[in-house]
Amino acid sequence: TIESDMPLLEGVDVNVPSTLEAAREAAKSCTRCPLYLLGTQTVFGVGARRARWMVIGEAPGQEEDRKGEPFVGRAGQLLNSMLEALGMRRNEVYIANILKCRPPNNRDPKPEEVACCEGYLARQIELVAPQIILCVGRIAAQNLLKTQTPIGKLRGQRFSYGPQQVPVVVTYHPAYLLRTPAEKRRTWQDLLFARRVFEDAQA
Ligand code: URA
């Protein structure tokens, strides 16, 4: 009967998008915080829908707001090089930010903005289901890991995120590296550490 064939969706949250496309559409029409009023468009995420590596940054800047894609400015070019150094192409990872809308003048995200936006990121992580998350920069790391620990103390460690216990590794933000190239050496150590964590997760 139609009744017995019908899948029951009890327990499924009515407003939780079940695909990345649906989550992207939900973010596009989001009015949970005022940032949607200020920018050009939302910057949801880019990359392989089932990527094994996920990179999480802070928030869109001017270029990203214009193009609708994360990490397309100068910092993005350096991020591409960081990924290439690990033998990965940008299009085989998934890249997203803590905030989907650009904060005015690239100021730091406010805690309430992060709180309004974090459901989108949580859903992205669930749907992409990466095997490792690389947080670039203090803002990404502190907000994802819910800590106030300075980034210098977060790098070099393996954390985990969510019920799936996705391994998380922290490194410096490429925009910071553009200003402080001397930290590229430590960043390279972090990237090698991340690769080890990823490989251990496979084993
Ligand atoms: N910086 C970020 O953290 N994210 C971007 O998308 C661009 C610059």
Pairing of strands 53-57, 94-97: parallel
The predicted model gives 8-30 an average pLDDT of: 88
CB-side neighbour CA atoms (13 Å) of 80: 12
User: How far is the C-alpha of 22 from the C-alpha of 202, rounded, in Å?
Assistant: 29
Sign of the CA dihedral 129, 133, 139, 142?
Answer: positive
Considering the entire predicted model, what is its pTM? 0.93
The total of other beta-carbon atoms located within 10 Å of residue 169's CB is 23
Compute the distance from residue 107 Cα to the ligand 1 centre, in Å. 12
The total of other beta-carbon atoms located within 10 Å of residue 81's CB is 12
User: Which residues' Cβ are closer than 6 Å to ligand 1?
Assistant: 57-61, 64, 70-71, 75-76, 97, 175
pLDDT tens-digit series, residues 140-158: 999 999 999 999 999 999 9
Do residues 139 and 60 make contact, with C-beta atoms less than 8 angstroms apart? no
pLDDT tens-digit series, residues 26-78: 999 999 999 999 999 999 999 999 999 999 999 999 999 999 999 999 999 99
Compute the distance from residue 98 Cα to the ligand 1 centre, in Å. 9
Q: Name the residue of 44, 82, 97, 170 to mutate for ligand 1: max ligand atoms within 8 A of Cβ.
A: 97
Pairing of strands 132-136, 166-171: parallel
For residue 58, which atom of ligand 1 is closest to its CA? 3
Compute the distance from residue 16 Cα to the ligand 1 centre, in Å. 26
The confidence score (pLDDT) of residue 6 equals 83
